[in-house]
């Protein structure tokens, strides 16, 4: 079997809920585009992935994907995923990790469809469900965080992660305190400050949420401040989670491990180079008796790819659902949702097992890149 074509169909995503701007993403909401990546084969089987998110329109990655990644996979056996991963990663200087991730996810989708198995079965399944937590957007007041946390706690979600304003640390501590008080002592809470602090601020907030019994402390310092993370880890007991958007791909985790700069490894199929990179990293963490916690995927199909990988990873605890849902879910007929007990379940259809809304994509199509 050979790959005969690769196309990216760009389609409009309008009316995305507007949120408060964050310093690392800018303003969120309004309009964006996703890209449906299609890998075609000489035997008629197709593999798919979505490129883009509500905050990063697909055309930013699609052009270089077509120019630099398409020639790598064209004419190749789609089952040679490991062999194809290497040249794709090597050429990322001229394309993007998101583009590599999309092609890799489509290769896994295709692989599952060829053999008639869901991706987690191809990988080797470990579980059939996993607890889900929700991650807040940036909200305007402690009361707004409390309202959201208690709403999702009542819906059965297994934890709540705060993305704080990260402007004034006293305000962030106030938010964390108010939410802890509202949800009770035993409900899992996490804080993700998204590179928001300098070292003294990170230490101050870390001490506060440690006292409040938070479960992990994510990305308090800049993503390349490995020395700062080492120092912080030596001064705090709360587990620290870095590496979600730290520079580089799979091999860039090595210095974090040998420096003992983080208690977890983290990434997702979109930002680290697909399911292949996610699985390599999970296994790398396992050797260090560490967990690998998967970041949300930024679009509906990437979240399903994350879910497929999660079912085949031993050393992971939660599935992340980023809020608001209206800025994360688009382009599928049926979304992957947690049950009333806050559990995400394995999808057992071949490949990604997603029901893509091809009619919507056709109706909102703006361009087909090939
Ligand atoms: Mg994060």
Measured in angstroms, how far is the CA atom of residue 318 from the centroid of ligand 1? 13
What pLDDT is attached to residue 100?
Answer: 98
Query: Taking residues 22-34, what's their average pLDDT?
Result: 85
240 C-alpha to center of ligand 1: Å? Answer: 12
The verdict on 104 and 166 lying in the same domain is: no
Confidence (pLDDT) at 28: 79
Question: Do 65 and 129 sit in the same domain of this protein?
Answer: no
Q: Is 234 exposed, middle or buried (0-12, 13-18, 19+ CB in 10 A)?
A: exposed
Q: Is the pLDDT of residue 23 over 80?
A: no
For residues 144 and 94, state if they share a domain: no
Same-domain pairing of 172 and 284: yes
| Distance from the Cα of residue 144 to its chain's centroid | 24
What's the confidence (pLDDT) of residue 135?
Answer: 98
Q: Do residue 140 and residue 87 come from a single domain?
A: no
Residue 6 has pLDDT above 90, yes or no: yes
pLDDT at 165: 95
Domain range for 348: 120-355
- The position carrying tokens 């055309």 is 59
Whether residues 176 and 227 share a domain: the answer is: yes
Query: How far away, in angstroms, is 360 Cα from ligand 1 center?
Result: 30
CA of 217 to the centre of ligand 1 (A): 10
- Residue 26 pLDDT: 79
Q: Which region holds residue 338: left if phi is over 0, alpha if psi is between -120 and 50, else beta?
A: beta
Distance CA 96, CA 273 (A): 9
Residues 80 and 152 in one domain: no
Q: Give the tens place of pLDDT for each residue, 88-131.
A: 999 988 999 999 999 999 999 999 999 999 999 999 999 999 99
Q: Distance from the CA of 293 to the center of ligand 1, in angstroms?
A: 10
For residue 74, report the distance from its CA to the centre of ligand 1, in Å: 35
Chain segment 153-205, per-residue pLDDT in tens: 999 999 999 999 999 999 999 999 999 999 999 999 999 999 999 999 999 99
Q: How many domains does the chain have?
A: 2
Cα(115) to centroid(ligand 1), Å = 35
* CATH classification at residue 128: 3.20.20.120
pLDDT in tens, 65-96: 999 999 999 999 999 999 999 999 999 889 99
pLDDT of residue 93: 87
From ligand 1's centre to the CA of 201, what distance in Å?
18
Give me the chain's average pLDDT, please.
97
Whether residues 264 and 346 fall in one domain: yes
- Flag whether pLDDT at 24 surpasses 90: no
129 C-alpha to ligand 1 centroid (Å): 22
- Measured between alpha carbons, how far is 42 from 13 in angstroms, rounded to an integer? 32
Closest CA to 336 of 364, 359, 306, 360: 306
70 CA distance to ligand 1 middle (Å): 30
Q: For residues 361 and 350, state if they share a domain.
A: no
> Which range among 17-31, 59-73, 230-244, 324-338 shows the weakest confidence by mean pLDDT?
17-31
Residue 20 has pLDDT above 90, yes or no: no
pLDDT > 90 in the chain, percent: 96
Residue 182 φ then ψ, to 5°: -75, -35
Question: Residue 225 burial (CB < 10 Å; 0-12/13-18/19+)?
Answer: buried
CATH number of 74's domain: 3.30.390.10
Asked if residue 97 and residue 148 are part of one domain, the reply reads no
Q: 320: CA distance to ligand 1 center in Å?
A: 10
Q: Do 50 and 142 share a domain, yes or no?
A: no
266-317 pLDDT, tens digit each: 999 999 999 999 999 999 999 999 999 999 999 999 999 999 999 999 999 9
| 130 and 255 fall within a common domain | yes
> DSSP string spanning 255-315?
HHHHTT--SEEEE-HHHHTHHHHHHHHHHHHHHTT-EEEEPP-SSHHHHHHHHHHHTT-SS
62 pLDDT band, cuts 50/70/90, is very high
Residue 64 has pLDDT above 80, yes or no: yes
Whole-structure pTM over 0.95, yes or no?
A: yes
């Amino acid at each position: 079997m050979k790959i005969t074509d690769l196309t990216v169909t760009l389609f409009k995503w309008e009316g995305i809920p507007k949120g408060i701007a964050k310093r690392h993403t800018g303003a969120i909401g309004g309009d964006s585009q996703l890209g449906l990546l299609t890998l075609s084969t000489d035997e008629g089987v197709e593999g798919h992935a979505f490129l883009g998110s509500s905050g990063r329109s697909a055309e930013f990655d699609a052009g270089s994907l077509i120019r630099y990644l398409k020639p790598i996979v064209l004419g190749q056996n789609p089952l040679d995923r490991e062999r194809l991963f290497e040249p794709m990663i090597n050429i990322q200087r001229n394309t993007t990790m998101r583009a590599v991730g999309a092609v890799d996810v489509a290769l896994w989708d295709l692989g599952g469809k060829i053999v008639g198995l869901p991706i987690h079965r191809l990988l080797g399944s470990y579980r059939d469900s996993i607890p889900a937590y929700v991650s807040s957007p940036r909200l305007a007041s402690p009361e707004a965080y409390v309202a959201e946390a208690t709403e999702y706690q009542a819906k059965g979600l297994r934890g709540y992660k705060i993305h704080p304003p990260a402007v004034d640390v006293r305000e962030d501590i106030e938010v964390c305190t108010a939410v802890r008080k509202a949800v009770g002592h035993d409900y899992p809470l996490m804080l993700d400050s998204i590179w928001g602090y300098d070292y003294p601020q990170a230490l101050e907030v870390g001490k506060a949420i440690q006292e409040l019994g938070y479960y992990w402390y994510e990305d308090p310092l800049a993503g390349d401040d490995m020395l700062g993370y080492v120092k912080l880890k030596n001064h705090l007991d709360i587990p620290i989670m870095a590496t979600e958007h730290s520079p580089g791909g799979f091999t860039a985790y090595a210095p974090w491990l040998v420096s003992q700069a983080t208690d977890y490894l983290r990434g997702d199929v979109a930002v680290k180079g697909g399911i292949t990179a996610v699985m390599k990293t999970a296994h790398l963490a396992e050797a260090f008796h560490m967990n690998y916690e998967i970041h949300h995927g930024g679009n509906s199909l990437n979240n399903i790819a994350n879910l497929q990988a999660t079912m085949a990873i031993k050393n992971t605890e939660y599935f992340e659902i980023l809020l608001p849902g209206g800025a994360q879910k688009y382009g599928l007929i049926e979304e992957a949702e947690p049950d009333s007990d806050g559990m995400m379940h394995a999808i057992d259809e071949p490949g990604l097992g997603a029901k893509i809304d091809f009619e919507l994509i056709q109706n909102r199509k703006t361009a087909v890149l090939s």
